[in-house]
Amino acid sequence: MRIAVAGGTGLVGRPVVARLEELGHQPVIFSRRHGIDLTSTPTDDLAALLNDVHAVVDVTNAPSADPDSARRFFGDVTRRLFTAGRLAGVQRHVLLSILGIDRVKGNAHYAGKRLQEELVTEQAPDAVIVRAAPFHEFAAMVVGWTRRAGTAIVPPLLVQPVDVTEVAKELVDAATIETSPGRIDLAGPRPEDLVDMARRTLRARGENIDLVPSWQGPLGPDMAGEVLLPGPDARLGSKTFDEWLASQSASGATADREAAEG
């Protein structure tokens, strides 16, 4: 199958593309690095690129300074993909979203993702929405967002991190295998404390940064407690944070800083 991957060069997009190629499918990558800006490329041009494409997997992402800018980005990208997809006859839309998105109201990024989910639900009743827990890289990404002169603020979140390759597999399965439309919740095998994750990641990479546990950074106290943990019906991946950490090295710090910057 020809499968379009919107955001195909990002942290999740790369393993999605790799998984498609591994299974013998043909990925069609939409990204700025491939000359396609989903906020400005004409819809007719996008539709031409979607010719003979069976499904769109949307893993687009962007920094969110405020709720309005997040809603503009995710709303515009989603509407463009739907319009182009209808013109090209795309049969399925698969969206990557965030676990616990309904429980967190004060986060700008979440506001944009909620609008994206609403548009997908309204315009593509047969779509599949995969709500994933934070990735194993998330703690290092938060450090990258808040790092100032050897100090970084990390909120004391409780999360159940999932490996990006397991997220990619779920997205590819939803795009290529007959899957019931609706929502899939996906998390890792066990809960972790984000501050501890950050400390262990930095130690493994040989980085000396003073971590300040605080809610004064970009992630607020409405994420406290168990709001980001999966419910009883969630699918659970198998790769633990410890197993992921064992595969990391100092060279991984650059990749995570690039991912944090979008």
Residue-wise pLDDT tens digits, 156-167? 999 999 999 999
* pLDDT exceeds cutoff 80 at 248: no
The whole-number pLDDT of residue 249 equals 61
Residues 192-223 pLDDT 10s: 999 999 999 999 988 899 999 999 888 889 99
Residues 40-84 pLDDT 10s: 999 999 999 999 999 999 999 988 879 999 999 999 999 999 999
Domain CATH number, residue 33: 3.40.50.720
Domain that holds residue 231: 2-260
Tell me phi and psi for residue 154, to 5 degrees: -130, 120
Residues 107-119 pLDDT 10s: 899 999 999 999 9
The mean pLDDT value for 126-135 works out to 96
Report the percent of the chain where pLDDT is more than 90.
Answer: 83
Residue with tokens 């546990």: 213
How many domains, in total, are found in the chain? 1
